[in-house]
Chain A
Amino acid sequence: MRNFLPSIFENPLSAILPAVPYAKEKKVDCHGVAIEAENLACSAQPGFPLAFRDVNFSIPCGCRAALIGPNGSGKSTLLRTLAGLNPLTKGTVNLLGVAPQFGRSRIAYLAQRPQLTPFFPLQLRRCVQMGTYAHHGWFEECHHGEAAIDKALDLLDLKELADRPVHQLSGGQLQRTLLARATVQGAEILLLDEPFAALDTRSREIVESFLFHSQNSFTVLMATHDPAELKRFDCILELNHGTLKTLHACAGHPHRHD
């Protein structure tokens, strides 16, 4: 029965139909700079007062950067702006040389409180598989990616939970699931909004060893509150009173903009 049901939904049409990507991706030489902001000013929502102004920073590729600051200092707003979910009021932002926009498979964003539809019947594995959609387009079926999904499940220790409905997961398990989805997406930049907030020590170790593993070549920008954590990062940005300071820039990258 379990194999029969999806086979009804096997799609012979996708063979005939042309592949229509969700969005055209511009490839630009980014000169080793992953994220760059100039004179950036934003508000949390259109019509709200500015959360920060005159923000300038640049993060080189491969850097693990922390974004710190008190509650309400605009960390989430900055991350959402970089992801393209929040319009910028002033200034310019470039990620891998291109302004934030939707449909960029090279950038993954993990919200602090993901807005998922409650009680949606979806098994964990299928949720992780959604990470591959970014590389597909309309009408296209996702057949490949099984190996990447297995690897991500393994990496984040989710193997036993693969058939569990997503709404039955605990906060930490869900966080790991969404991180696995970002991994499957194969993004080059990970924008993470307090990914450790809901994690217990073990989950946290799993996620940390993944994020800080030297073989993973992605760039990470992570909002965090934990001072003990900071020495692991190459670069620390602090948002406070509406301005951003680069406390500690990436070593070996002389082109700083602070």
Chain B
Amino acid sequence: MIDFFIQPLREDFFLRALVAILLSSTTAGCLGAYIILRRMAFISNALTHSILPGVAAAILLGFSLYWGALGAALITATGIAWLSSKKEISEDSAIGIMLSFMFAVGVGLISLSHAWRDFTSLLFGSILAVDKNDLWIISLTTAIILLSLRLLHKELELASFDEEYAQLIGAKPALLRVILLMLIALAAVASVRLVGALLTTALFIIPSATGVLLGKNLVQVMCWGIGVAILSGIAGLYLSFYFAELPSGAAIVICYMIPYLAARLFTRRV
């Protein structure tokens, strides 16, 4: 029985994946609380999905996957801002337009390369994919995100709760929103190796939705989100280790649903 838990730990790739999921879960738990509470699930979905063409282009042209992903996320964010600046187009239509367009470009680029097999790991994540270099990048983005969230905690909480009051006292809620979106893009880019472009959005949304059911204030929501994300993430990694055909992203997201459903069934909403 103990061997069941110990054996994967003897593998280097598993340890790297473990560290990666710990770091990604921490950032995702913190950012996810804002995403859920501010109802930004759709835009974070668009940001994470739109990573795909960037990653595909990076592989085709041979530059770093992270630059490609970051560039694609930036293009999507500016695209959404530009499209929704026209009054007739609401923001969620703009998000829908950019999301499907970027995804289509991604599929087009992948089909150009005639190598669908390599891309399943990009779409759904792979436990084998995280190398040392990735760990450095994940650590760096985690540090940036946690530091920013810590420094802006008071302002972000206020702007998420009462945007008008934030505006009145001069705490620039529009700027805070842009910062939050950039942090989401950064976190999505960092976790794309392990969870995959299609499923990174679940990393932000499901554990934090559990947190919102359980936490009484913002910090508690974040802590619950992080806890749920870490535990289910580790469970997902084990699942993916023993069922080699199951991509790690899919395994992790399946594991996320268990605490969410438990919280949903066993909390009374007052």
Contacts and interface: CB of A to CB of B under 8 A. Distances in A.
Nearest to A182: B165
B220 interface: yes
Contacts, number: 93
Contact of A134 (B37, B153, B157, B169): B169
A85 B217 contact: no
Interface residues of A, number: 42
B134 interface: no
B91 interface: no
Interface string B210-222: 0010011111110
Interface string A43-85: 0000000000000000000000000000000000000000111
Contacts of A136: 154
A80 B150 CA distance: 32
Interface string A95-130: 000000011110001010011110111110011001
A101 B147 CA distance: 30
A239 to B, nearest CB: 22
B161 A117 contact: yes
B162 interface: yes
B223 interface: yes
Given A85-B167, A138-B155, A116 B216 contact: no
Interface in B152-168: 152-155, 157-158, 160-165, 167-168
Contact of B153 (A5, A9, A105, A119): A9
Contacts of B164: 85, 111, 114-115
B219 A22 contact: no
For chain B, which range describes its interface: under 10, 10 to 19, 20 to 34, or 35 or more residues? 20 to 34
A165 B161 contact: no
A117 B162 contact: yes
Contacts of B219: 5-6, 8-9
Contacts of B215: 121
Contact of A120 (B152, B160, B171): B160
Given A85-B167, A117-B160, 6 more contacts: A103-B169, A105-B169, A117-B162, A120-B161, A133-B154, A133-B171
